[in-house]
Structure 1
Amino acid sequence: MDNINIPELVQRLGSEEDSTRKMAVFKLQSAIGDPSFADVFIYEGGLPRLRFLALHATGNTLAYSLTSFSRLLELDKGWEYVNQDLIERVVELVVTHPLVNILRGAMSILVAIVSHPHGRASAPGSFGFRALKPAVAVYPQFLEMLVSRLSSADHALCANALQLINSLMRDSITNDGEGEWPKFIKRLQDLGVIKAVYVLMQSSALQDLAHPLLEFQSLTKVLLRKWREVKVDLEKQDHRRALKGLHLASNPERVPQGDRDTLRGSRRHHPEKWRRLGFETESPAWEFDETGFLGMMDLTDYVRKNEDGFQKLLLEQSATVAERRCPVARASLAVTMVLYEHFEVDKVDSEDLQRYVVLESRSNFDKAFKPLLLQWSRLHTGGLNAFLRLWKATGAEADDFAKVEELVRILVEQVVGQAPRVKDVHEVEAELADFEYERLRELQMELLELTYEDVWGHHLRQVRDELNHEALQFVKEQRIRCLLQGAWFPQSMAYAAEAGPVTKQSLNRPAPSSWRYVRLSHNRRYLHYADFEARTELEPKLDVLEEKIDLSIVSSVVSNVSASTPATSSSASTIKDLPVSTSTKITIHGHGTVDAYGKGGSGGGGGGGAPGGGPRESALLQLHPQSHTLAAEWLDGLLMLLNQQPITADTSKLVNLIGGYGLKIRLLNVRFEDLGAWEPALPGREGLDDEYWYDIGGMDGGA
């Protein structure tokens, strides 16, 4: 800026020629941001002339003058020339002027005035929103016009308007009295500021509006926290009025006939005046201790918007036994706290602005912006309706309140927490209303298992390993019992190995010419079998089965059963259980003799010898299971009987299922001292000597 002659520029600002003044102030707006330039400009007497132009100029000259004055104020200079005349002029421009470049500069000046810190030397009402109130009284449509600018097609104007609204909100919250800021915030909300900002936050204009939008989001958290900090006090008229409104909206005249007869002619209140609304006692004020006035607002808002439904709900509750009634008021307060914790309202209000600094690309905007936060009331209504639905679906009783609350917490995290930035609130409400309880329980168990995995570490892994071992032993016993029960296997003499699996197209295969029945002996040492011309209705007894194989000579069991195909899997054209032979084959090998019909001898080394002089391994028995289920039972049953690992997907799935259920049952029976806590306290060493132990098996509990 060394090439600008400041005294000459100041002189030109006072020229009678508008074109001269315009050129001078045009150069000034670019240079005035330099503090050293600003100091010389003020020293040369430029400030009075700049203020005169801001008050009286028009067109581009006015636009450049307002921009220059706002940049000077941003340097914390020129405040002595800010008075009511200037403020009223700028407010007038915001309300009446159509040109965008003039509106930007005017709003920037008002942002600086409203945001200016209140110093000791400042006269009362010199800065902040108080400084604007006399001018706003002259132009009462100021706030309405300001909110309407949020829908402007000019993104820079939107940003300036929102920045001014943020400044007004922050000043009101910080400096207005207890009864003033709620009225101002309500007026802004009535003018539609929430809806306008919500639309901007979901739009594609985030790049230009990121800073003021994140500040508004942060201020929303400040407001929620401030409302929660306001204690419900029935000495205050508005608090008493809100509570009375709840009572009247509940249609208190509709009491059971017996109670009505008892109370007729008496002016005493219904003995359960507040408990029938879902409060724990007849003195409900203390029940708002955790949520503060925020909980009162949420509950009254729900009742006001759903009065008929609220009355019907209370009538339904009155017809239910006391233990099964859902306490509506308590549920409402619980949902308020679920939302409060979900949106992390208690975190420092500057966090969102700090997050903006580290934003690297548009892809990160979905993480930083939470437009659903602005739909607090609708989320509360949706959450409370979900609470009531889950209470009914689970058949909950009074002692189950915390469990249903936890389900709602998971529901909010899943639906609201996973919603992308552009997802409409209507869709979120629909998901809250329709989310399946079974899916919610699955999510709860997954979260519970992950939580305990983090907390218990190797202890939990040890429990899981023990349960998997127990599950494997259980399935081993089940599979062996299938062998003890026995099964029929077809023996088709016309069977060809290359024929492939049984399908609808291969139904014309010939029926089996014989059937083989196989059964394990009670002592589990021999496999008995015999061939029959036809399958009988009664299962053959062991003494009828003439052939047997001593399992001690069995060396291996092989099969073409797919290890990766579960018993439940089949293509659309494959029939799983048909009375014909299939290509599935289980072959039992051993070191014994085999006759011409494939019947194995019961012992000994048999004829011939293997290289090295040992007994020759040969096929002792072949089985053709009719289904994947039967194949899995017999293949894995034989393997496990020989103390080998099962190989089919069906058996693996069953083992995992049983082990998983065992783990979940143990986790569900763990009791925390604090029902609301997710992380149990690990045992400490305080007060203990060296001889102590901690038993993870204590997690067992009852089933």
Structure 2
Amino acid sequence: MDQAEIPGLLSRLASDEDASRKMAVFKLQSSINDPSFADVFISSGGLIILRRLIMNSGGNTLAYSLQSLSRLLEVDMGWEIFDSPTAGDLVDRVVELVVSNPLVNILRGAMSILVALVGHSPSESTTTPGTFGFRALRPAIAVYPQFFDLVVQKLQSADHALCATTLALLNALIRDAVANEETGRGNTTSSGTGEEWPKFIKRLQDLGLIKSVYTLMQSAALQDLAHPLLEFQCLTKVLLKKWRKVRVDLERPEHRRALKSIHLTSAPTKDYVNGNSDGKSDEAQEIGKKGSRKHHPEKWRRLGFETESPASEFQSAGFLGMMDLTDYVRKNEDAFQKLLLEQSTRPLHERCPIARASMAVTLTLFEHFDCGNTDIEDTRVLFQVVDAEQQDKMFHPLLLQWSRLHTAGLQAFCRLWKNTGAEQDDFEKVVELIRILIDRVVGQASRHKDVVEIEEELAEYDLAHLRELQMSLLSISFEDQWGELFSKARQSLQQEALTFVKEQRVRCLLQGSWFSKPALRKESRGEDSRNRRATHGTLWRYAKLSHNRRYLHWADFGLRTGQEPGLDSLTEKVDLRTISSVMSNVSERKGDSSSTDLPTSKHSTKITIYGFLNLEEAQRGAEGKEEPVLTLYPLGDSLASEWLDGLLMLLEQSPITAETNKLLDLVADYGMKIRLLKVRMEATYSPPPAEAGVVPSRNDLDDDYFYDI
């Protein structure tokens, strides 16, 4: 719309005909967010007419008027409409519409105006204090005390735009309450609501705010609500950060009551309550100061604190840690008392420190959700530049289930403590396991995963799997930081593993084994065959490596004897120096690695040893003449792996079977894990010192020296 048309537009807006006003204000809402148009409109007295329409009209005319004012405020113009003696009446009117009007298009406009009014900073205006922020709404809300309840209810609306505007208003109210407390406006710690911000937040939570936002964050309407949801998520982190910063102070009644409730809920005995630890009278327990009594020497340590001054132990977790512990104790009273009773039967050094564990879980969750990062502007910019999949991962509905996650995490801590047989000195090790557990279960949960499933996974996650994950993460972190030194250590361990496995395989050959052997065809049997008895159509063959590891002795038998044959009964032998190669189909087969006592009719597993005719031929190497000198039919894949790789290793060749290579990896990995477990945690995530890996000089050293490893 051209600026020259503004006088005619104002005339129609002031018309007595409803149809004329409706058409005019309909056109106004599409043009008023142009700053040059808005400037002329305001200077021509348009705000007075617009205010009159909001105060007196209804239906679509009212909806268009509210939308026009909202768009004007979006371009940061028209604030003077709230800087007049009648501004209070306008705010009352808008609040009344939010409370009583059922039309969605009117509610959206009214909510948008309140969002702008609450979010506008007085520093940007010359108005008197109280014109903007939550204070501007207080008189109207006093008339409509159901305001907050009705606003929270509108988060369940089927209209996504209304839900988004409603959540934006609640965000503005929370942000204003927190900002007032931080800036100390009016030299008071209370927010614009007339109450301290924690009480205001609890008031909204009691109305079901968290539950409603949690549902929205998991819904399919995420894109329509993205910005207010991200802001609410950031504000939740702000609140958690503020609660953590609040120092636990027993001079504050609410802090003292919270700590006392933890103690009383623990079902202390009479001695713990009255302070009589040895049955003496109250008078004997007096310490001579204001008539107070000594409390039990383990009053607080029995609950899992390190000392008898619990307030000081909340230094890291702050009042947030006390809130979490209090909430757990209150909602799980029976489980808490049962756990304490169970721990009391254990030696002191084996007891799970419940209070310390609770604070550790609080700090772990705080770190996991990155509650120290609360910059909403950075979050919004990032949301615009990442793809849809990454956008989805930016939402963390489980953050809104903080209390339930803390409870589940604490219960998981106690379970891990018991299953690992931990003691007091192992506290930080269990904390590390909890950190990994939460990162795996909570961190990898999809946006749609319900908190009940998370609780179940935390309660049932396998300790062995958790240990594997811990070592894998530790190895990756260590390798990233220590680089070349780590690679050298791994190579050294692999060589040690090869030596170890070679010795194991060779020992199998030294022990000797039975092999099956196909029976000769009937026409090819000689006279000596009568002296051999075939079992199930086969003969038995026994092979064994000599003690000096130079000869492979073997012989055929008609029966498999219970006693292993000695070397003197093995009439044949092969000089290992004459063996040229060992061939087999073992590495190509995929089957059961179990062996059987009876040979099978199908000899699918076969090891063929090739050798030179004599040592002279062997010395000629590849030019020498070779032939098969011995064939073995192992009774199972494990035996085949032991003999094939054992023979290859004796010939200084690399093992080839999957079973042996798996054993090599297992031994090397265990060696690395043992070394990593000796490394201090702080060293894992920091680079090596400059002198690491440098071999000391041997100059001026005699034979009396050693390396401290």
1:6 paired residue number: 6
Letter in 2 for 1:658: V
Q: CA deviation at 1:605?
A: 5.3
2:100 paired residue among 96, 99, 102: 96
Contact 1:567-1:649 at 8 Å conserved across structures:
no
Contact 1:91-1:106 at 8 Å conserved across structures:
yes
1:526 paired residue among 530, 547, 551: 551
1:547 paired residue among 572, 591, 612: 572
1:156 paired residue number: 161
Contact 1:666-1:700 at 8 Å conserved across structures:
no
1:132–1:484 distance in 2 versus 1, CA, 3 Å = same
Q: SS at the partner of 1:245? A: helix
1:296–1:178 distance in 2 versus 1, CA, 3 Å = farther
2:527 paired residue number: none
Q: CA deviation at 1:30?
A: 0.5
For structure 1, which runs of at least 5 residues remain unmatched after alignment?
497-508, 593-601
Letter in 1 for 2:13: L
Name the CA distance, whole Å, in 2 between partners of 1:253 and 1:587: 78
1:692–1:487 distance in 2 versus 1, CA, 3 Å = closer
Letter in 2 for 1:365: Q
Contact 1:325-1:397 at 8 Å conserved across structures:
yes
1:31 paired residue number: 31
Contact 2:3-2:40 at 8 Å conserved across structures:
no
Letter in 2 for 1:154: D
1:599 paired residue number: none
Letter in 1 for 2:606: K
Q: CA deviation at 1:700?
A: 11
Name the CA distance, whole Å, in 1 between partners of 2:65 and 2:574: 106
Q: Deviations over 1:454-510 (max 9, x none)?
A: 1111211111111111111111111111111111222221589xxxxxxxxxxxx96
2:262 paired residue number: 246
1:589–1:188 distance in 2 versus 1, CA, 3 Å = same
Name the CA distance, whole Å, in 2 between partners of 1:309 and 1:397: 21
- 2:572 pairs with 1:556: no
Q: SS at the partner of 1:549? A: strand
Name the CA distance, whole Å, in 1 between partners of 2:622 and 2:547: 34
Q: Deviations over 1:26-49 (max 9, x none)?
A: 110000000000111112111101
1:175–1:689 distance in 2 versus 1, CA, 3 Å = farther
Q: CA deviation at 1:2?
A: 2.0
Q: CA deviation at 1:614?
A: 5.8
2:686 paired residue among 666, 680, 691: 680
2:637 paired residue number: 628
User: Which aligned pairs between 1:202-217 and structure 2 lie closer than 5 A?
Assistant: 202-217=218-233
Letter in 2 for 1:142: F
2:349 paired residue number: 323
Letter in 1 for 2:547: H
- 2:676 pairs with 1:667: yes
Contact 1:467-1:659 at 8 Å conserved across structures:
yes
- 2:90 pairs with 1:86: yes
1:653 paired residue among 662, 673, 678: 662
Please identify, of 246-255 and 367-376, the stretch whose mean Cα deviation from structure 2 is larger: 246-255
Q: Deviations over 1:341-372 (max 9, x none)?
A: 000010142233232222432x3333110000
1:308 paired residue number: 334
1:585 paired residue number: 606
- 2:561 pairs with 1:536: yes
Q: Deviations over 1:643-696 (max 9, x none)?
A: 111111111111111111111111111124x4xx7513521479x999799xxx
Name the CA distance, whole Å, in 1 between partners of 2:492 and 2:521: 45
Please identify, of 485-494 and 279-288, the stretch whose mean Cα deviation from structure 2 is larger: 485-494
Percent identical among aligned pairs is 60
2:281 paired residue number: 265
User: Which aligned pairs between 1:338-377 and structure 2 lie closer than 5 A?
Assistant: 338-350=364-376, 351-361=378-388, 363-377=389-403
Letter in 1 for 2:60: N
User: Which aligned pairs between 1:402-481 and structure 2 lie closer than 5 A?
Assistant: 402-481=428-507
- 2:228 pairs with 1:201: no
1:254–1:320 distance in 2 versus 1, CA, 3 Å = farther
Q: Deviations over 1:564-603 (max 9, x none)?
A: 64763x8xxxx755334523211111111xxxxxxxxx76
1:335–1:495 distance in 2 versus 1, CA, 3 Å = farther
1:457–1:138 distance in 2 versus 1, CA, 3 Å = same
Q: CA deviation at 1:261?
A: 7.1
Name the CA distance, whole Å, in 1 between partners of 2:257 and 2:653: 76
- 2:116 pairs with 1:112: yes
Q: SS at the partner of 1:489? A: strand
2:60 paired residue number: 60
1:596 paired residue number: none
Name the CA distance, whole Å, in 1 between partners of 2:136 and 2:519: 104
For structure 2, which runs of at least 5 residues remain unmatched after alignment?
182-187, 191-195, 283-292, 523-533, 700-705
Q: CA deviation at 1:219?
A: 0.5
TM-score, scaled to structure 2: 0.89
1:559–1:684 distance in 2 versus 1, CA, 3 Å = closer
RMSD of aligned alpha carbons: 2.8
Q: CA deviation at 1:546?
A: 1.8
Q: SS at the partner of 1:647? A: coil
Q: Deviations over 1:497-526 (max 9, x none)?
A: xxxxxxxxxxxx961443222111111111
- 2:188 pairs with 1:188: no
1:397–1:566 distance in 2 versus 1, CA, 3 Å = farther
Name the CA distance, whole Å, in 2 between partners of 1:236 and 1:605: 96
Q: SS at the partner of 2:122? A: coil
1:493–1:620 distance in 2 versus 1, CA, 3 Å = same
Q: SS at the partner of 1:514? A: strand
1:514–1:685 distance in 2 versus 1, CA, 3 Å = closer
Name the CA distance, whole Å, in 1 between partners of 2:131 and 2:622: 112
User: Which aligned pairs between 1:370-389 and structure 2 lie closer than 5 A?
Assistant: 370-389=396-415
- Residues paired across the two proteins, number: 662
Q: CA deviation at 1:615?
A: 4.5
Letter in 2 for 1:149: K
Name the CA distance, whole Å, in 1 between partners of 2:611 and 2:309: 82
Q: Deviations over 1:227-249 (max 9, x none)?
A: 11111111111111111111111
Contact 2:3-2:37 at 8 Å conserved across structures:
no
1:699–1:662 distance in 2 versus 1, CA, 3 Å = farther
- 2:138 pairs with 1:133: yes
Contact 1:487-1:518 at 8 Å conserved across structures:
yes
2:184 paired residue number: none
2:240 paired residue among 203, 216, 224: 224
1:502 paired residue number: none
Q: SS at the partner of 1:488? A: strand
TM-score, scaled to structure 1: 0.89
Q: CA deviation at 1:316?
A: 1.6
1:561–1:241 distance in 2 versus 1, CA, 3 Å = same
Q: CA deviation at 1:264?
A: 5.5
Q: CA deviation at 1:431?
A: 0.6
Q: Deviations over 1:261-311 (max 9, x none)?
A: 724632542221111111111111111111111111111111111112212
Name the CA distance, whole Å, in 2 between partners of 1:307 and 1:174: 36
1:603–1:417 distance in 2 versus 1, CA, 3 Å = same
Letter in 1 for 2:262: L
Contact 2:272-2:296 at 8 Å conserved across structures:
no
1:691–1:561 distance in 2 versus 1, CA, 3 Å = closer
Q: CA deviation at 1:632?
A: 0.9
Letter in 1 for 2:103: L
